[in-house]
Every structure is written in C-alpha cells, then in structure tokens.
Structure 1
Amino acid sequence: MRLMIAGGGGFRVPLVYRALCAGPFAGLVDELVLFDVDGSRLAAMEAVLRDMPADEGSAPAVVVSTDLGQALTGTDMVFAAIRPGGTAGRITDEQIPLGLGLLGQETTGAGGISYALRSIPHMLELAAAMRRHCPDAWLINFTNPAGMVTEALVPILGRRVIGICDSAGGLVQRAARAAGAPLNEGTLDGVGYYGLNHLGWLYRLAPAGRDLLPGLLSDRVALETMEEGRLFGQHTLEKLGCLPNEYLYYYYQTAQATEAIGQQSETRGTSIHQQQNSLYPSLLQDPHPYRLWDAARRSREEGYLAEARTHGEQRDESDLAGGGYERVALSVMRALSGGGTAQLILNVPNSPVSAPAPAAEVAVPGLPADAVVEVPCQVTPDGALPLPQERPDGPFLTLMQHVKEVERLTIRAVVAGDREAAVQAFAAHPLVGSVPLGRQLLEGYEAAFPELSQLWT
C-alpha cells in the first residue's frame, strides 16, 4: 500500500512512521510519501525518520515530494494534516480574540473559525487533486477543525473522506480504565458517545451490558485518576450525568479559561512557534535528530490544555507517551484495506452518504442527516458506518445545533465566497455572541491574513 501524508513536514509525522515500523501496523504500508510545500521541513522530518530505530524488514520506503500530483499518483490512502499560515498563524488565531476579551484557542471559538477559513480552501484543492490523480483513494483528515473541514470535503469525496481526532477515543479509554473495565483496542461495545469534533459527551459505558458510568461519576477517587475528572470535578460531572470531551472546558468554564490564558506569559501557539522555529534547523544539524524530536514532542504534550491545570497538576504518563491520533488513523486505514473491522469514534456524516436516511435513522437524532458528527463507527472496506446513538439531552443538543450552524456558515463563507456568512459565523458562535464583535474579529483576521479577502466574490 502507498500512503501519502499531506503536510509531510509536520511535527507529528514521526508518530505515524513509528507506528508503521512496529506493532500491529508493521508491514501495512510499503511506501510512505511525505508531501509538503516547505522543502526544508520535509528534509528535517526525513532526517528524523532516518535516525529512528526500526526493524530493517518492517520500515516502509520513504519518498519526499513538493509536487502534489506526483505525490498523489498511485496513492491508495491520503492522510492530511496541514496548517496554512503555520504556527505563526496559530498565534494570530489566539491573540485577536484575546484582544477583544474573548477566548483565544486554536480550534474552539473565533480562533477555530479563522483556522477553518484558511484550511478549507487548501483542503478543497487537495480533494479535487485526489479526484484527478487517485480517485479511488481514501482521505483520512486530521486537519483542524477536523469536523468542519471534513464536512466541507464530503460534497467532493463522499464517503471516501473520514475525519479523525484522538480526544474522544482517549476519553472513552480513560473512563473505561477508571471504571475498572478497560476496552480492547478497536472495540466500543456498550459505549454511547455523541457530539461534534471537540464538542462531545460520553453518556454510556456498558461494555458487559451494565452501565458503569453512574458508578464512576459517583466515585471521586476514580475520577481523580483521569484527566476529565480532574478538569471538571465530580460535582459538575454528576450534575451533567456524563463525561464531557476535555474541550468543553472552554464552554463550561469560559471566563476561567480566558483569564488563565490571558495571565500566561505566552499563548500556547507562541510556545509551539518558538519551539518549532528552533527545532527544525537543529534537526538537520544534530547527530541524533530523533532523540531531539522526541524530547520536543514530550515537552509539547506536557503543555497541552495547560490553562486548565492551574494548580500544578501533571498530565498522565499514558497521555505523554504518544500513540493517539496516528493509531486511530492507522486503525481506520487497516480496516478500510481489509484488515478486519474496527469500532472507532470518527467524524462522518450523520447518515451514510450513499443512502440518505430520514431523521429516525440518523446516528444523532436532532441533527441533519448530512451534518458531520463525531460518533462511534463500524469501519469496514466499504467505509465508516455511524452507529445509532440516543437523542442528546436538551442542553447538549442545543449546543451542538448552535455550533453546527456556525460550522455551516463558515463552510458557506468559503465555498460561496460569502463574507457576510463569515461575519455571521463569528457572531453566532456561543463564545462570541455579538454581530459587532463578529465584524471586528473578521476585520482583524483579514488584516493579519490578506488571503482571506481573496475568498470573497
């Protein structure tokens, strides 16, 4: 199998390569093609991969390319993890809303809309190029905001695009371990989870038929062993009656999160930008680039959601080891290529693309059939089939519907060249909630990213 990674100079590429060299995914890929528009970043990642310990017979051949058509030709599977504007763009995504007293975060709120306005056009170009050069290939999308970007691509690629994120699956695994019933990888028996990317809730955990979630929510000691238990606290979780995705911290504790980010000496984007600016040149000079990269990776993981850990709490060791989103992506790839079925939480249309269904047959009742949702799916060579979930409780469904409308306005802004839709997307977001603020946000981002103005017809 030939796998191409769009964004092949990205920081996390070695995680994919490492997983392809050992363990259950070894031998799955014969050729790994790294495509990127930045040749220097490609060279740095190539140096890391060359230095990475691997069994001689299991490591795929690595090809690097800055020619998209060449990289796609003959490809069976495409992973996409691009960041238009780079880490410098992330700083701007965070700082413009902070300057208006709003939450400044990469994928949640105004920063996520800005990121999507830059990402979607490039991802549409990638999807169109796939139709020309490898029409039978699957696209596994990591590009954030993952759910919104995936929904924008469905009209071009149909069921052959699947969005992934490791935060929902990580939540389920942590909850199962805390409840004393760890799940086997690739199975979600008895799991109930519904939501959008970075906006979901685990509402049932019944691997053997009995729901363990109420007991877990009432067990303060068990909750303290998992990230979400420490993040939200037992009182909030018992009141909700479920376990929220960690990104819901930004909705449930907006003022606290905004204040904590504002009090930091630098935003997370600034920290990552500085780290990568010094790291990439060093990778080309250091005699042990893999070791240097891995130390940087661990440092980066330690800073994840730091604004929510205001009392010096440390992340779990299992969360620092790596092995998150790339394992989800490779599990999807293996199942699509006939290596056995898998159950995974993925971003897919609410009902199968090939067979639009009435509302009663959607995976998440209350959301449109063609809306991309994040739910447990059964993955086979035919694609990812969303599994039916319960109708979300009122406040959960209302928030999902609200954010889904924001996502659709953002997509319309790009696809139709509709600037007013972009204003409305910012204004309608629950973390903004004001047309004047929506206009200020868009004007600020247009000044920082001149390419946005080229979108409007």
Structure 2
Amino acid sequence: MRAHNVLIVGGGSTWTPGLLKSICARKNSFPINRLVMLDINEERQKIIGEYAKVLFQEEYPELDFHYTTNKEEAFREDLDFVFVQMRTGGYTMREKDEKIPLQLGVIGQETCGPGGFAYGMRSIRDMVQLVEDVRAKTKDAWILNYTNPAAIVADAIGRIFPEDKRILNICDQPENLLRSYGRILDKDPREFDPVYFGLNHFGWFTNLYDENGNDLLPELREKILSGGFRPVDYEQRDQSWLDTYSMVEQIVQDFPDYLPNTYLQYYLYPDKVKQKLDPDFTRANEVMAGREKRVFEECERVAEMGTSQESKVVHNDAHGEFILVVAESIAYNKGSHFIVILKNEGLVENLPEDAMVEVTASLTANGPRPYSVGKIPTFYKGLIEGQFAYEKLTVEAYLEGSYDKALQALTLNRTVVSASKARDVLDALIEANRGYWPELRSERPAPALV
C-alpha cells in the first residue's frame, strides 16, 4: 500500500487536531509519507503544530511532519492530496457576517443568508489562488475542499477551472447526520446506503438502506417524531448546535416526506429562528469563548507537558475522519459511497444542469461516479431552484463585480426576501468587507429619495 504526501491548508483551524488524530488512527488504511500544514496565521499554526509534534512522536513517529507559513515549502511537485479548510477573514469577519444582518433585522448565520453571501464572496478569491498554487506545481494532486460556503465555492471553482477533474468539494454535515442516525438506530453508519439530493446545506435524505436493502428511513422518522433528534456527539456540543438539531423534529412534522439537513431551519423558519438569535452574542462569540479557547489551551498544555495521552482536545472526529475516508476511497480505488458536491448534469432530472448538487457517489481513483435520483417533487424543486439562483447570482456578482446581481442574490434568499432589507444589508456588508471583496458597481442609477 503506497504512502502519500499530504498538505493541510488551514492548519491553524480548531478542527485540525481532530484531523491529526484521525490521521494517526487510520495510518494503516491511509499511510502518509510526508504531512505539511500551511496557514497564514503563524500564531495559530504554531500552537496546533507543536501539539501535532507531540501527538505524532507518540502515535506516528515514522511520519515526516512539519508546519509552515511559507507557500514555497508547502506546494511541491510530489503532492498527492491537498486538504483545504480555509476561513478567509477568520472569526473576526465571521462575527461581522453574523451580527450585521441581525442588526438589520434578518438572519445572521455563518453559511446561510447574508452571512454566507459575505463569507462566499471572501472565500472565492483565496480558493482560486489555492488551486493556482497547487496546479503550478502538480496537475495530479487531488484537492479535497471543506472551505465554506461549499455551494458557492464549488460553483465558482467549477466555472473558473472547468477542466480540472481533481477538485472535489465535500461537507461533513451529511456525514454528521448519518452518524447521528446510526446512534439513534444502534447501527454502524458506514453500512448505510443513503439516497440524498439537494444543494450544500440545503438537502434531504429520501431513503436510508441497510446492508440487506431495507429502508430504515420510516423507522428513523418515527423515532425522531417521538423522541426528537440530537447529534451523535451531543454531550460535547455547544447549545446553539443542540438548538439546531432540535428543529429537525419540527421540520419532519411539517414536511414528513424526507429527512432534512439541519441547516434548512434557517430557510423554512427564518422568523422563528431569528427570534432565538442574540445579535450581541452570536455563534462566532460562542465558538471563540468555547471551542476555540478549549482547543488552543489544550494544545498548549499538550506541547508543554510533552505528551498527548489522555488529552481531550478532540471532541468531534467526523470532520477529520470523513476527509480521510474520502481520500482512502480515491487513493486505493475502493469505490465507497459518500455524499459529495457535483455538477448536476441530469443527476436530479428536473433541476438545472449547471447546479452544484449534493448527491451520493461512489469515489474511485478516476473520481466520483454519482447516482442519479430522477425527478423530485415540486415543493423541493421550487426551494432548490430559488436557492440555486441565489448561489449562481452570488458567484456572478463576484466574477463580474456586479452590485446589481449581489442585490438580486440577497433579495432571492429566503432568509431575507425584502429587497429593501437586502439593499441595507448589502451596503453594510460591502463596507465591512473592504479589501476582501472585489469592488461592486451598479449599472443602474441610484434610486430616487422620496
């Protein structure tokens, strides 16, 4: 079994320790020869990097590991996989993404609504640069991308690099849901054969087959309706995530056909969800005061003590393990099933061909082999077409520097709806994102004051 050379972009992320721990746990199924972590934030990178040194010394001493802020050291000709988890602007900009919309009366959330719009407009530039940096050195490395908001990033990258077949956009939320289903049903989620359709953070499970071909979705639906829904690792989750998962029961009560992605709460019940959000203490503040603080303090403790034994720095391994099992399936031509983001091209028969849909696919050494889901009912089709139009206009606003398309995008989004609110939020976000976004210009005269 050939060992691989791997680069992690965004090594200073609070999710990186889970990824590093998973690398150790899966060293026999996905052996790595050289691992490099790259981040532009030297301070964050060093804290995680020093933790990694201790971890690998104890659990993976044969691994050639180092971390850097120098792109010349990171991007090399012999790379096999690049794992990408960038956050352009860090938590400082995430906080603005969430608070500015809330202050103006609409949903403020990291990847949904105006917050996701702002984040996407920032992420595109850095993702394009990342692909160019990798491809300047190697045409063969697989780029596995976690960078959010995944739907907008995937659409932009697909337009800018249409011939690059070794970029795969993935999200760990369907994986988290499958693990949660496994806990509810007391079954191994890796044995599930799911049928799923939608866009990223905007999709539904239609079937959940077991190893014998039995559809477990009806049983799972009844368990959710009678006992609620909690994430697989609910003992370690922040309250905001528990609130998010608790909304699944409401969605299933109102729309029982399929099982929803948790993010649909923001689009189906924006008024109800907005009432629960604190404009002065958002999810970004919760993370900075909670997970981020815990992770960095624990990494510093491990580095100081010189041992990672009994460390509790990792609280959710789905993020880290998922990208590794995806890489394994590609590297060793396993053909395992995963829910990934791909250009539609008929996979969902009655959706636009160019939509970046999230569906189940078999991952091989030659890339994904997706499974079509046929036609979907009118209600779900209508929701998805509206969301896709928003995502498409967002990408076009970035590529064309178009204020008009940015305004159209936000007006279409179900978390906003009002054109006047869309304009207010857009203008505020433009001001907050100077230096990150391209300049947006309007081809239309300014509205007259009345």
Q: How far is the alpha carbon of 1:6 from its aligned partner?
A: 1.2
Query: How many angstroms apart in 2 are the aligned matches of 1:142 and 1:365?
Result: 27
Pair 1:102–1:255, CA change in 2 (3 A): same
| Alignment partner of 1:399 out of 359, 379, 383 | 383
Pair 1:381–1:270, CA change in 2 (3 A): same
Does 2:123 correspond to 1:139? no
Aligned residue runs from structure 1 range 217-256, under 5 A:
217-219=221-223, 223-224=227-228, 226-227=230-231, 230-233=246-249, 236-237=252-253, 239-256=255-272
Match of 1:358 in 2: none
Query: How many angstroms apart in 2 are the aligned matches of 1:374 and 1:171?
Result: 14
| Alignment partner of 2:334 out of 318, 329, 340 | 340
Does 2:97 correspond to 1:97? no
| Alignment partner of 1:201 out of 193, 199, 204 | 204
CA offsets, 1:12-69, max 9 Å, x none? 1121111111246555211111111122222111111123266555653212222224
Comparing 281-290 with 115-124, greater Cα deviation is found at 281-290
Match of 1:409 in 2: 393
Identity of aligned residues (%): 27
| Alignment partner of 1:160 out of 161, 166, 189 | 166
Aligned residue runs from structure 1 range 36-51, under 5 A:
36-51=39-54
Query: How many angstroms apart in 2 are the aligned matches of 1:261 and 1:235?
Result: 19
Return the TM-score normalized by structure 1. Answer: 0.83
Does 2:304 correspond to 1:287? yes
CA RMSD of aligned residues (A): 2.8
The answer as to whether partners of 2:5 and 2:32 remain within 8 angstroms in 1 is yes
Does 2:344 correspond to 1:350? yes
Pair 1:392–1:58, CA change in 2 (3 A): farther
Pair 1:371–1:20, CA change in 2 (3 A): same
Unaligned runs of 5+ in 1: 299-321, 352-361
CA offsets, 1:330-371, max 9 Å, x none? 1111121125221011112224xxxxxxxxxx2222222332
Greater relative contact order (CA < 8 Å, ≥ 6 in sequence): 2
What code does the residue aligned with 2:143 have? L
| Alignment partner of 1:122 out of 122, 126, 134 | 126
Q: How far is the alpha carbon of 1:415 from its aligned partner?
A: 1.8
Query: How many angstroms apart in 2 are the aligned matches of 1:406 and 1:70?
Result: 38
Aligned residues: 420
Aligned residue runs from structure 1 range 308-347, under 5 A:
322-338=316-332, 340-347=334-341
Q: How far is the alpha carbon of 1:424 from its aligned partner?
A: 1.6
DSSP 3-state at the match of 1:450: coil
Comparing 67-76 with 108-117, greater Cα deviation is found at 67-76
Match of 1:271 in 2: 286
Q: How far is the alpha carbon of 1:210 from its aligned partner?
A: 3.3
Return the TM-score normalized by structure 2. Answer: 0.85
DSSP 3-state at the match of 1:64: strand
CA offsets, 1:207-231, max 9 Å, x none? 2333232233234676436448843
Q: How far is the alpha carbon of 1:158 from its aligned partner?
A: 2.8
Pair 1:25–1:384, CA change in 2 (3 A): farther
What code does the residue aligned with 1:40 have? E
Pair 1:29–1:237, CA change in 2 (3 A): farther
Aligned residue runs from structure 1 range 48-67, under 5 A:
48-52=51-55, 55=58, 57=60, 60-67=63-70
Match of 1:303 in 2: none
Pair 1:244–1:70, CA change in 2 (3 A): same
